[in-house]
Amino acid sequence: MSSRSVRYTSSPLLASKTPVWRSQFIVACIALGFMGLVGRAAYVQVIDNAFFKRQGVVRFARTLELPASRGRIVDRNGVVLAASIPVPSIWASRPEDMERDPVKLKELAKLLQMPQAELDKKLQDPDKSFVWLKRQVDESVDKQIKALGLKGVYSRKEYKRAYPEGEAVAHIVGFTNVENLGQEGVELTFDKDLGGRSGSRRVIKNRLGHVVEDIGEMVPPVDGRDIELSIDSKVQFFAYQKLREAVLDNRAAAGSVVVLDVQTGEVLALANYPSYVPDRRANLTGAQLRNRALTDTFEPGSTMKPLVVGLALEKGLIKPESMIQTAPGKLSLGGHTISDAHPHALLSVNEVIQKSSNVGTVKIAMQLPSQDMWEMFTQVGFGQKPQVPFPGAVAGRLRGHKTWRPIEQATMSYGYGLSVSLFQLAQAYSVFARDGHMVPMSLLKNHQPPPGVRVYSPQNAAAMRHMLHLVTIPGGTAQKAQTMGYSVGGKTGTAHKQEGRGYAGKKYRGFFVGLAPIEQPRIVVAVMIDEPTNGRYYGGDVAAPVFSQTVQQTLRMMGVQPDLSVKPQIVAKAEPESF
- Locate all alpha helices (DSSP H) within 18-101, ordered by sequence: 20-42, 50-60
What's the CA gap between 535 and 156, in Å, rounded? 56
By the 8 A CB rule, do 356 and 492 touch? Answer: yes
CA–centroid distance for 228 within its chain? 15
d(CA 365, CA 457): 19
Q: Are 512 and 560 in contact (CB under 8 A)?
A: no
Q: What are the residues whose beta carbons fall under 8 Å from the beta carbon of 243, sequence distance 6 or more?
A: 255, 256, 257, 271, 272, 273, 527, 546
| Closest C-alpha to 528, from 489, 493, 499 | 493
Question: How many other C-beta atoms can be found within 10 angstroms of the C-beta atom of residue 159?
Answer: 17
Please say if 302 is a catalytic residue: yes
Question: Do the Cβ atoms of 560 and 522 come closer than 8 Å?
Answer: yes
CB burial of 419-446 (b: ≥16 within 10 Å; e: otherwise) equals: bbbbbbbbbbbbbbbbbbbbbebbbbbe
Q: Are 537 and 510 in contact (CB under 8 A)?
A: yes
Please state, in angstroms and rounded to a whole number, the distance separating the CA atoms of residues 520 and 434: 9
CA 521 – CA 527 distance, rounded (Å) = 17
Q: How far is CA 533 from the centre of its chain?
A: 28
State the DSSP H helix or E strand holding residue 401, giving kind and residue range, or none if neither. Answer: none
Q: Is the peptide bond before 517 cis (omega within 30 degrees of 0)?
A: yes
Asked if 439 and 450 touch (Cβ cutoff 8 Å), the reply is yes
The dihedral built from the CA positions of residue 377, 383, 385 and 391, taken in this order, carries a sign that is positive
Cα separation of 310 and 429, whole Å?
A: 11
Helix then strand then coil, % of the chain, to nearest 5: 40, 25, 40
- Compute the distance between CA of residue 342 and CA of residue 364 in angstroms, rounded to an integer: 19
- Catalytic annotation, pick one of 69, 302, 357, 370: 302
For 106-109, the CB contacts below 8 A with 24+ separation are 107/148, 108/133, 108/145, 108/148, 108/150, 108/153
Q: Report strand pairing: 73-74 vs 266-273.
A: unpaired
SS3 per-residue string spanning 309-368: HHHHHHCCCCCCCCEEECCCCEEEECCEEEECCCCCCEEEHHHHHHHCCHHHHHHHHCCC
Of 550, 431, 404, which is closest to residue 481 (Cα–Cα)? 550
Q: Which residues are catalytic?
A: 302
